[in-house]
Amino acid sequence: MIHTTKQTDERLQAAAKVRDESLVPVECWCLHGAVGAVSDWRGLAQALAAKGISTRAVDLWRFLECEGVTMPKFGKRLNAEAAGEIPRAARRILIGYSMGGRLALHALLEGGPWDAAVIISANPGIRDPNEAAQRRVSDTVWATQALTLPWYDFLEKWNAQPLLGGAMRDSREDGKLMQRRREIARSFVDWSVGNQQALWDRLPEIKIPTLWIAGENDMKFCAIAEEAVGLSDQFSLAIAPDVGHRVPWESGGWLAERIADWRG
């Protein structure tokens, strides 16, 4: 087959575009989970840095320092904060894990300067009013325990939940987190999935590429992610093999590879 000069030029331009897009700098804004900390993202940040992707871990507790903040209001505030800064990369990816994933969904539904998103082990909301009411009661108990139990007893009880599978950070980081126990307690009320409006019907409003991730052994959240992905052509699914709910810490290397290959 004989190619014209025009066809050759077009092929070279297309190849250059693919190459250039693969090298576009990316910055990930990372939202931690309940009873979490910015330091929880260190391992993933290092793995992504090795692939040329920078990260910014957001301290969610500072949003609750002075007052209660609803999830929609949080979304607006995070978006305003991100929009008000000079971008450090050409593309911004919003990453949210568990509670942080639910907060990320609210930010995405409020608009914001995001080019893509990664939602990890997160629930768009509880549809059944009775189940939601039960969750509010349960989270109120957790809020009380976060304030009243000896700190390490509270953490041990929290991490003993079958879904979570044990401790995830060393005692020094746990000790620092104790300084946020008031905000953590408040989050069990303001950011409880029982108090959250179910977002299922609104997910198609998210118009940017969104990667939904769950651990293979976390059957509940695998089902949630699979259902969510079916609601929009912008959504895609990745299941982390042989891990449970805490994908970023149980399989950080796999997650970094997946994000780097995908990049929205």
Q: pLDDT per residue over 158-196, tens digit each?
A: 999 988 877 677 677 888 899 999 999 999 999 999 999
Asked if the structure places residue 222 within a domain, the reply is yes
Asked if the structure places residue 168 within a domain, the reply is no
Asked if the structure places residue 16 within a domain, the reply is no
Whether 33 contacts 98, CB under 8 Å: yes
Asked if the structure places residue 7 within a domain, the reply is no
Q: What is the CATH number of the domain that holds 66?
A: 3.40.50.1820
Q: pLDDT per residue over 116-134, tens digit each?
A: 999 999 999 999 999 999 9
| Domain enclosing residue 202, as ranges | 24-126+197-262
Residue 107's closest CA among 43, 36, 30, 45?
30
Higher per-residue pLDDT: 10 or 148: 148
Tokens, residue 193 = 């999935």
Number of domains in the chain: 1
Asked if the structure places residue 3 within a domain, the reply is no
Q: Rounded CA gap, 30 and 237, in Å?
A: 19
Task: Give CA 145 to chain center in angstroms.
Answer: 25
Asked if the structure places residue 92 within a domain, the reply is yes
Q: What is the pTM of this model?
A: 0.89
Q: Rounded CA gap, 79 and 130, in Å?
A: 32
